[in-house]
Amino acid sequence: MVRIQDLTFEEYISEERIFARTSQLAKKINVDFEGKNPIFLGILNGSFMFLSELFKQITIECEVSFLKVSSYENQTSTGKVRELIGLNKSIDNRPVIIVEDIVDTGHTLAFIKDKISSFSPSKVSVMTLLHKVAATKIPHELDYVGFEIDNIFVVGFGLDYNELGRNHRCILAKS
């Protein structure tokens, strides 16, 4: 059992299973993108550990970059304004692979895909470590999924609870 602030968590997906699945996904990318020189776009902060583990096993020519979704309250109107920070590299006519930690309702991914598409990449593929299928509000075609999980709150391997818990080596579920 792991305690983070007021919550307790139990191991849900072991480090061994994460590594094994990441290797399988890397092998698939190495085949699917051979000779295509894709750009991996990691979505910060959650995807940093997954992307680093994956990237070590990519053997084809490729690039990596990171994007961050920032959200803030608009001063003049109600509601949140979101921005995608870091999209300063030319992805025109290049295949991009978005790398997410988790797809929950699908709202964040819809926003990211929309922003990225305005730069006219040749192809947009999506990889996510985790997918909460039952939580879907906006369905997406997810090309590479590590694990489909239950509709529960998870932390670890890059994912946080109030910015804490990202350093755990496995995925933990709230007990």
Q: Which stretch binds ligand 5GP (CB under 6 A): 9-17, 51-59, 90-98, 147-155?
A: 147-155
Least Å distance between CB 53 and ligand 5GP?
A: 17
Q: Does 46 bind ligand 5GP (CB under 6 A)?
A: yes
Interior CA angle at 132 toward 147 and 40, to 5°? 60
Binding residues for ligand 5GP, rule CB under 6 A, total 15
Q: What is the per-residue binding string for ligand 5GP in 101-120, x denoting contact by CB under 6 A?
A: xxxxxxxxx-----------
| CB within 8 Å of 114: residues ≥ 6 apart | none
Q: Identify whether 104 is a catalytic site residue.
A: yes
Secondary structure string (H, E, C) spanning 64-102? EEEEEEEEEECCCCCCEEEEEECCCCCCCCCEEEEEEEE
The active-site residue out of 6, 104, 114, 160 is 104
Which residue type, as a one-letter code, is found at position 161?
Answer: Y
Q: What is the per-residue binding string for ligand 5GP in 19-38, x denoting contact by CB under 6 A?
A: --------------------
Q: Does 160 bind ligand 5GP (CB under 6 A)?
A: yes
Q: What is the spatial distance between Cα 128 and Cα 102, in angstroms, rounded to a whole number? A: 6
Q: What is the spatial distance between Cα 153 and Cα 46, in angstroms, rounded to a whole number? A: 14
Which of 54, 99, 155, 171: binder of ligand 5GP (CB under 6 A)?
155
Q: Does 18 bind ligand 5GP (CB under 6 A)?
A: no
Active site positions, annotated = 104
Interface residues with ligand 5GP (CB under 6 A) are 46, 101-109, 153-155, 159-160
